[in-house]
Amino acid sequence: MNLVIIDYGAGNIQSIIHAFDRLGVQARLTKDAQAISSADRVIFPGVGAAGSAMSQLRATGLNELIPQLKQPVLGICLGMQLMCRHSEENNTDGLGIFQVDVVEFDNTLLKVPQMGWNSLSALTSPLFNQLPQDPYVYMVHSYYAPICNQTAAVAEYGIPYSAALHRDNFWGTQFHPEKSSQVGSKILQQFLSLTS
């Protein structure tokens, strides 16, 4: 299994590498377009702010490459948000893979960032096969994707929102599967065994 993690300066990549190590797959960190295009699986990570992350992608041309990928691609946290049409964070245009606009939680009603373990419901993707009842995953975020046609899992924080998105060969999780204990590990395992 040729698994790459897109390298564009996003933080805490170690955890993702270690999570795949535990599954017996060595992930390779790369910014090389050829290596990314020819990989079996692509992880699009992201921690930090939308504006600077998108600038990094544009500077390296990765913003053109990512939407054209044909193999299964998994965006994690900010990675998922950047795959959306737009983010309210730094008023940033995204990659437009998911037809939804990312907005900010209302911090007059909620503690922001949302930090901790939240439960998933309305799971509609093979990524979530074999999960236990009422699975909990680890979330850390201040912005969220509302429910839309491409919502593949729902979580609730004040309101229901997209915990995961799916379109064709693209998946995105707002949560961190690499930090979500056995539930997260199962999801990553499923991502590795997807057939499309």
Partner 1 sequence: MLSKRIIPCLDIKDGRTVKGVNFQDLQDAGDPVALAAQYAVQGADELVFLDITATEDARETMASLVLEVSKAIDIPFTVGGGIRSVSDVEKLLKNGADKISINSSAVRNPQLINDLAQAFGSQCVVVAIDAKQIDQSWRVHLVGGKVPTELHLFDWAKEAADRGAGEILFTSMDHDGSKHGYAIDALARLSEDLSIPLIASGGAGTEQHFLDAFTQGKVDAVLAASVFHYGVIPIPILKTYLASQGIPIRK
Active site residues: 77, 176, 178
Distances (CA, A) of 150 to 50, 52, 153, 166, 168: 21, 26, 9, 5, 10
Point out which residues pair with 172 in neighbouring strands: 75, 165
> What is d(CA 66, CA 163) in angstroms, rounded to the nearest whole number?
21
Choose, by CB under 8 A, the member of 18, 64, 129, 193 that binds partner 1. Answer: 18
SS3 126: helix
> What is d(CA 172, CA 192) in angstroms, rounded to the nearest whole number?
14
Asked whether position 14 contacts partner 1 by CB under 8 A, the answer is yes
Query: Smaller CB distance to partner 1: residue 131 or 170?
Result: 131
For 187, the token pair is 């999801």
Asked whether position 124 contacts partner 1 by CB under 8 A, the answer is no
Query: Smaller CB distance to partner 1: residue 107 or 193?
Result: 107
* CB-based contact 8:58 (threshold 8 Å): no
Asked whether position 97 contacts partner 1 by CB under 8 A, the answer is no
Asked whether position 51 contacts partner 1 by CB under 8 A, the answer is no
Asked whether position 178 contacts partner 1 by CB under 8 A, the answer is yes
> What is d(CA 104, CA 61) in angstroms, rounded to the nearest whole number?
27
Query: Smaller CB distance to partner 1: residue 141 or 166?
Result: 141
* Distance in Å, CB of 147 to partner 1, minimum: 16
Residues forming contacts to partner 1 in the complex (CB under 8 A) are 11-12, 14-15, 18-19, 21-22, 47-49, 107-108, 110-119, 134, 136, 138-142, 156-157, 176, 178-182, 184-185
